[in-house]
Amino acid sequence: MITVYGLKTCDTCRKALAWLKGEKIAHRFVDVRADGITKADVTRFAKAVGWEKLLNKASTTWRELDEGVKADLNEALAIALMVEHPTLIKRPVFDMGAKIVSGFRDAEKAALKAASK
C-alpha cells in the first residue's frame, strides 16, 4: 500500500488522491499538518529525492522565514525546518516502501502505476 503525505487543503494532493482512487491503487493519506511528521520520515524522503527537491521554496511558509535562516541553509537545517514546518515539504510525497516519489506529474504517475502492480 502506498502512503501519501500531504495536506488535505492542497489542490495537488486532492488531485493525486482522486487519481489514485480512479486507478484503484491502494493508498492511505497522512496530513502532515494535522498528523505531523517525524524527523526520520523527512530524512528518509530527503535522502531518496534530495533535500533541495523536497524543500518547497515557493510556499508562503518559506517566504515568511527569516532571511538569515534561508542564507545559512544546508541539508540538516532544511530537514529541521521541514519537521518544524511541514508545509515546507513539496507535496505530495508518495512512500511506496522501497521507493519515495515527490510531486505529481507524468513521471510520478508512471512510478505509482508500476509500484501498484
Q: Rounded to an integer, what distance in angstroms lies between the CA atom of residue 111 and that of residue 83?
A: 26
Catalytic residues: 10
Q: What is the DSSP letter of 86?
A: G
Contacts of 37 (CB under 8 A, 6+ apart): 5, 30, 82, 83, 86, 89
Q: What is the DSSP letter of 65?
A: S
